[in-house]
């Protein structure tokens, strides 16, 4: 009988391609779970990431854990030490922060210049992204009010995502897939800044104000004003992060 015979349940066994897809989905799920541990502080900088303990915790075999850690090593979020396995990378150094914001300035000012040509289509979407950012900030601030529990990473996750989505909305509007890919490659490092959020002051009010200035510049349709607003925002964020460090 053929190896592709019908099973007792009346369906064919999974094809090779479907098995590959399932394995990739499992690996991606494990990747996301470990990334969450890195960003929420449950796996702090310098801590060990054992493959077998993680596999037991996540209820999977060691293979997708190993594959996910290899992926994370490429982002710089974890490092592999000979004979010691994987460890969570330390927070970004002052030099790395400088380089990160230098790269963001190069990439994002180029993106806003190109996106400004499509301002009529972009502005409504950017207004919506800004509104989501404002709402997320409001939710965090409510939890930080007297009598409420302090905001933790779980509370801040939606705020951080809305902040970054504002930037991605502009970058995608530039209409250059390679700019978008470069931005996505930076996302892990941008989120890695969140590791220091409890060691400094939150800059929600400043970020909201600076994003509003960027939106207003797009509404004027002046590419030079848009570039200056984005450059000023990134410079201010870099200064705030450096001061917190």
CATH class of 94-244: mainly alpha
- Which tokens hold the place of 13? 């066994």
| pLDDT score at 149 | 53
For residues 182-189, average pLDDT? 84
What residue segments make up the domains of the chain, in order of their start? 16-88, 94-244
Average pLDDT, rounded, for the chain: 83
- Which tokens hold the place of 115? 């996106």
Binned at pLDDT 50, 70 and 90, residue 7 comes out as: very low
- Angle, helix 177-192 to helix 153-173, in steps of 10 degrees: 160
CA dihedral (127, 132, 137, 138) in degrees, to 10, reads: 100
Indicate the pairing of strand 78-81 with strand 48-49.
unpaired
pLDDT digit string, tens, across residues 81-118: 887 889 998 888 888 888 999 999 999 999 999 999 99
pLDDT digit string, tens, across residues 40-93: 778 888 899 999 999 999 999 999 999 999 988 888 889 998 878 899 988 888
| pLDDT score at 35 | 84
pLDDT of 146 over the 70 cut: no
> Alpha-carbon distance 209 to 5, whole Å?
64
CA dihedral (186, 189, 191, 197) in degrees, to 10, reads: -140
For the chain, list the strands marked E by DSSP: 48-49, 78-81, 85-88
For residues 137-161, average pLDDT? 72
> Alpha-carbon distance 129 to 205, whole Å?
16
pLDDT digit string, tens, across residues 159-170: 888 999 999 999
CATH class of 16-88: mainly alpha
> Alpha-carbon distance 74 to 207, whole Å?
29
Binned at pLDDT 50, 70 and 90, residue 39 comes out as: confident
pLDDT of 172 over the 50 cut: yes
């Amino acid at each position: 009988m053929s190896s592709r015979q019908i099973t007792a349940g009346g369906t064919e066994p999974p094809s090779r391609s479907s098995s590959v897809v399932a394995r990739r989905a499992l690996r991606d799920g494990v990747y996301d779970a470990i990334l969450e541990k890195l960003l929420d502080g449950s796996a702090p900088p310098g801590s060990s990431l054992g493959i077998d303990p993680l596999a037991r915790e996540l209820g999977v075999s060691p293979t997708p854990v190993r594959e996910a850690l290899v992926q994370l090593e490429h982002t710089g979020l974890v490092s592999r030490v000979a004979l010691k396995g994987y460890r969570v990378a330390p927070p970004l150094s002052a030099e790395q922060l400088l380089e990160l914001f230098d790269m963001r300035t190069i990439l994002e000012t180029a993106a806003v210049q190109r996106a400004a040509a499509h301002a009529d289509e972009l502005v409504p979407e950017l207004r919506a992204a800004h509104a989501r950012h404002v709402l997320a900030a409001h939710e965090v601030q409510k939890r930080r009010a007297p009598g409420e529990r302090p905001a933790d990473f779980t509370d801040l996750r939606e705020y951080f995502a809305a902040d970054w989505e504002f930037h991605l909305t502009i970058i995608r509007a530039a209409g250059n897939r390679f700019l978008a890919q470069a931005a996505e490659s930076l996302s892990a490092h941008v989120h890695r800044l969140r590791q220091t959020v409890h060691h400094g002051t939150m800059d929600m009010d400043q970020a909201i104000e600076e994003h509003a200035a960027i939106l207003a510049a797009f509404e004027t349709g002046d590419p030079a004003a848009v570039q200056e607003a984005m450059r000023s925002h990134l410079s201010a964020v870099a200064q705030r992060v450096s001061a917190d460090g």
